[in-house]
Structure 1
């Protein structure tokens, strides 16, 4: 679903960096959820969760500069 959403946003004219910053935090959280569901150890759950936060902040900063 994320790939389809990315294609739709790219075809709508959104810059690739905007699409990546928009979708990457969600992808990281989905990886963390997958790790939790398969019973992975806690670092494999924490790493993608921790990675999603700075990417989310970068997205917010980039959006704030446009307005």
Structure 2
């Protein structure tokens, strides 16, 4: 069990589940609010955080961790911008 957690395989499985969730949400939400773009940006933020965890577990160079965290931050800012813009309407 310890090897499963430290190898990063559990993160890979979680990322596959997030990808499947994204596909299902886009297919189910056509024409409704929030739009698929908003849902995908929200999922991208979480996926980037999982990639950061995967980088740490795999012992990847620090720039991969920084890139994943930067991606999560950018997706989070985009998500907040979309939410605030729609709330202002």
TM score, norm. by length of structure 1: 0.82
- Distance in 2, matches of 1:63 and 1:19, equals 11
Matched residues, number: 67
- Distance in 2, matches of 1:36 and 1:49, equals 11
The list of structure 1 runs, each at least 4 consecutive aligned residues, that deviate by more than 3 angstroms after superposition, is: none
Structure 1 spans left out of the alignment, 5+ residues = none
TM score, norm. by length of structure 2: 0.65
Pairwise CA RMSD: 1.5
The equivalences for 1:1-67 within 5 A come to 1-10=17-26, 11-13=28-30, 14-67=34-87
State the structure with more CA Rg.
2
